[in-house]
Chain A
Amino acid sequence: MNALLTSRRDAITLAIFALVVLTMPVWLQPFGAAYPGLMQKFAIYAIFAIGFNILFGLTGYLSFGHAAFLGVGSYTAVWSFKLLTMDALPAIAFAIILSGLLAVVIGYLSLRRSGIYFSILTLAFAQMCYNLAYSVLTPITNGETSLQLNLQDPRIIDSALAPRPAGLPSASLFGHTFSGLQGFYFCAVMLLIAFFIAQKIFASPFGMMLRGIKSNQTRMNYTGFNTRPYALTAFVISGMYAGLAGALLAVTDPLAGAERMQWTASGEVVLMTILGGVGTLTGPVLGAWIIKYFENIFSAFNEQIVSRFFDFLPAGMHDVVVAVASKFVGEGWNLTLGLVFVLIVVFLPGGIMEGVRRITHMFDKSRRAPPTPARLSTQPAE
């Protein structure tokens, strides 16, 4: 009965989530974010964050090296484009497999330690991947120059099926080349699948086991469970999510650079997850959207806009306020992000989702359907 209820609620959440994601091109219009490049990012980084959350949110293992899997996913996908075909599906499949394999190796070694040691190990592995991609692995990664398609690529399958087009091809699905919004819808569908799988994991006995690791690993061990295989599975799954996200980055733009493996990129997904709400399903998605939105829109604010915003203030005060405020937008938007992040960690460890829960709790003690992401993501834009 209870399980049925949960799965019904999950189904409703999924439906609402799907509605919100698929109608993005409409409701993002007033926010100036309805262009394909950004919406694709919304979908892709949401996948990345959901995957990261499966590890961190459920087991409590804080990985600072998840960007490595993202990078490997991208490189694999671009190589699949170069060697085999421009079709997105094989690229994604290879990317998931390869990043999964890397996750097995890194996870197996890193999970021998916990706490800060685990974080440092993942960090060290990811930095090694990044630095190698930059230097010795240049024949594979093209280093700082970034791996790109070029006209001489063999593309064995494609060239066997059809004459080579002039110019560089773009990614396609069963021979249909993505253009305009189609790339976004493809990513959106992937996001829905990823979300659905995450829901299933959260609700499954396996998910319960992972939560057990987070709350008390020692007790789990005493009850006779060897927790490590479970943690490793979670690690690999979240590595595969990152690989999927990396592959999608390559599908929407067939280029893979080493920077996306740097540890600051790993830090970003940590920020997304914490900001939205660790351990919740929609939280990381929200966090990813907010950070990507601000990165693209908030950072485009300049002093003129700020000045117009504060037009209602008296002249003297106006200048001061504008001078201060403009430090927090435009290029300084990272400062705002850092401050908000610190405040959230200090006062709202559950992230935005906890805030929403507290607010809805205040207004309404009786239980209602969980808040929809659509309502939430419109808030920060004001």
Chain B
Amino acid sequence: MDAILAQLLNGLDKGGAYALIALGLTLVFGTLGVVNFAHGALFMLGAFCAVAFRQLITMETVTIDPSQLSPWGAPLEIKTPLAQTWFGEFGAVMIEYSVPLSIVLAIPVMLIIGIAMERGIIKHFYKRSHAEQILVTFGLAIVAQEVIKAIFGPNPISQPMPTSLRGAADVGLWLGMGPNVLTYPWWRLLYFVFSAAIIAAVFAFLRFTTFGMVVRAGMADRETVGLLGINIGRRFTIMFGLAAVVAGLAGVMYTPLVPPNYHLGMDFLVLSFVVVVVGGMGSLPGAVAAGFLLGILQSFASMAQVKAMLPGIDQIIIYLTAVIILLVRPRGLIGRRGMMES
């Protein structure tokens, strides 16, 4: 029982990332009708916002201490982060909390990247075939990842989490199961809560604001909304920016879990498409539900007992689910009828 609960928690935290990425992808597809193969790259760019922020605030001054010698006999170099020299204690705290703080940097950066992408390239592709959209965004994804590789190098760069959030929470105790029965890392719990909050915010935004209402109307029937004299194009651009922000934030918070490298986006890309397809192309609740569902499925499939029954299932469960859904119920779990059905 504890084992199953632990695996469920793991699935929820994995699913959080999938759901966030799929949510952004669906926003773009639902509003703009564009299949964005560069969405994984946006996730990766978000992660590198965190890396860049940390590198910025940990830029170091090197002082040489002649009294100490390095192992090869040269004077020892002592490196002090500039932020600490300038802000003292506060600088140290900034470095400590660099990952959550980098959200402040990531939001505007991702918004600009998203809008630039839409205005620069993607808007020319609204009328072209899905195949061409895939190709151009695939190209963009390669460019983004290579730019990151050129700047930050090919190796993963680890982002330490704040000390206070290291280690595991005794979840079992909260559920009245006694101490030490069920523990789970704090940051992973936080990631789940964070993704749930973002998802709620996006849904609230679409439901309760006029802007959201217009966008939803536009998703349902773009032409009529246009006839009403509303500039739906500009709103769609902003939606693309918003999707980029959602992907980016998912990336920022992911960095302490797995050190990001330039390839992170491609690793998540296939997965996120599978999530979207399972949820139903263009359905926001579908994307979220499928994200969590696939996270949980993947987590359970990785258990030794399950692997013993179905060897290798942990490796293919996600794709297998996608194939079955696509063949049996092409509009996905909650997809709208007629959406992309052939």
Contact = CB atoms under 8 A, between A and B. Distances in A.
Interface string A343-369: 001100100000000000000000000
B139 interface: yes
Nearest to A131: B315
> Which of B124, B139, B150 counts the most chain A CB atoms within 10 A?
B139
A115 B134 CA distance: 10
A128 to B, nearest CB: 5
Interface residues of B, number: 40
Interface in B123-137: 124, 129-132, 134-136
A274 interface: yes
Contacts of A332: 146, 149-150
A337 B142 contact: yes
Given A116-B340, A128-B316, A342 B136 contact: yes
B227 interface: no
B136 A346 contact: yes
Interface stretch (B53-61, B243-251, B318-326): B318-326
A345 B132 contact: yes
Contacts of B154: 331
A117 B135 contact: no
Contact of B270 (A117, A127, A345): A127
Contacts of B147: 335
Interface in A109-130: 109, 112-117, 119-121, 123-125, 127-128
Contacts of B146: 332, 334-335, 338
A267 B134 contact: no
A270 B130 contact: no
Interface in B263-287: 266, 270, 273-274, 277, 281
A342 B121 contact: yes
Interface string B140-182: 1111001101100010000000000000000000000000000
Contact of A135 (B134, B312, B320): B312
A325 to B, nearest CB: 12
A115 B340 contact: yes
A264 B130 CA distance: 19
Interface string B320-336: 10110011001000000
B342 interface: yes
Given A132-B315, A274-B135, A345-B135, A124 B150 contact: no
Contact of A131 (B140, B142, B319): B319
A318 interface: no
Contact of B134 (A119, A134, A331, A342): A119
> Which of B129, B135, B154, B270 counts the most chain A CB atoms within 10 A?
B135
Given A135-B315, A136-B311, A124 B143 contact: no
A137 B139 CA distance: 33
B35 interface: yes
B228 to A, nearest CB: 30
B326 A120 contact: yes
Interface residues of A, number: 41
A136 B311 CA distance: 6
B326 A117 contact: yes
B191 interface: no
A327 interface: yes
Given A117-B277, A132-B312, A342-B121, A125 B323 contact: yes
A256 B121 CA distance: 39
A62 interface: yes
Nearest to B147: A335
Given A112-B327, A342-B143, A125 B131 contact: no
A339 B327 contact: no
B48 interface: no
A204 B2 CA distance: 64
Interface string A130-153: 011011110000000000000000
B240 interface: no
B69 to A, nearest CB: 33
Interface in B94-138: 121, 124, 129-132, 134-136, 138
A263 interface: yes
Contact of B327 (A109, A114, A274): A109
A113 B141 CA distance: 25
A274 B136 CA distance: 11
Interface in A80-131: 109, 112-117, 119-121, 123-125, 127-128, 131
Contact of A341 (B124, B142, B311): B142
A75 to B, nearest CB: 16
Contact of B322 (A124, A134, A346): A124
Contact of B139 (A60, A112, A338): A338
A131 B315 CA distance: 6
A135 B301 CA distance: 14
A346 to B, nearest CB: 6
> 4 closest pairs, A vs B, by CB?
A136-B312, A338-B142, A335-B146, A131-B315
Given A116-B281, A335-B143, 14 more contacts: A62-B134, A109-B323, A113-B327, A115-B340, A116-B134, A116-B340, A124-B319, A124-B322, A131-B312, A131-B316, A332-B150, A334-B146, A341-B139, A342-B140
Interface of B: 35, 121, 124, 129-132, 134-136, 138-143, 146-147, 149-150, 154, 266, 270, 273-274, 277, 281, 311-312, 315-316, 319-320, 322-323, 326-327, 330, 340, 342
8 contacts: A115-B131, A127-B270, A134-B315, A270-B135, A335-B149, A342-B136, A342-B143, A346-B124
